A = this chain, B = another copy of it.
């Protein structure tokens, strides 16, 4: 941990886009964040829960048991009304086990081809679980409502961000810029709540 002697918090993800949002959402706290890239020997975790919360709880508790340090896990995804809530917990692998963000976005656009704007409602959901050694897990959930555009827009963010539009802004998550996105996004709002909790625990310094 070098010169920095703050508390350590492992974020149970290998996704660089998520990791950027965690760093931003928790900045100012006296913590040193690690991702799962720092634990190359960690066994693979099957994210086979029926809900985001179930998956996040599983990741947090398994990684905490392995690393013996505090762990924050996220599980999140997109629910599309026209698809009866799909892709949901399968968001990251919608187009297959090794699907890229682009593969998933293309599949979603193809499925919604010709569907009018009024039927393209969708929401992002995020579940965060904090596992502290010897304590019951702390959970936070948040959502953001929007719609699926007819083509990708913008360069920022990751995942389905280029297709997820906010009616208030007429812009996709990718077009909002990280400050505005993290203020209103599912993950940003959940992280803000978790940040408050960590401040109450005295993690400000």
Contacts and interface: CB of A to CB of B under 8 A. Distances in A.
Contacts of A111: 83, 111
A165 interface: no
Contacts of A94: 84
A116 to B, nearest CB: 13
A89, A94, A111: which has the most chain B beta carbons within 10 Å? A111
What class of interface size applies to chain A in its complex with B? Answer: 10 to 19
Interface string A62-101: 0000000000000000000001111111110010000000
Interface string A48-61: 00110000000000
Contacts of A88: 84-85
Interface in A88-124: 88-91, 94, 111
A151 to B, nearest CB: 19
Nearest to A110: B114
Nearest to A90: B84
Contact of A86 (B50, B84, B91): B84
Nearest to A112: B111
Contacts of A89: 84
Count chain B CB atoms within 10 A of each CB in A85, A87, A94 and give the residue with the most: A85
Given A83-B84, A84-B94, A85-B86, 8 more contacts: A50-B50, A50-B51, A83-B83, A83-B111, A84-B87, A84-B88, A84-B89, A85-B88
Among all A-B residue pairs, the 6 with the closest Cβ atoms: A84-B90, A86-B86, A84-B86, A84-B87, A83-B86, A111-B111
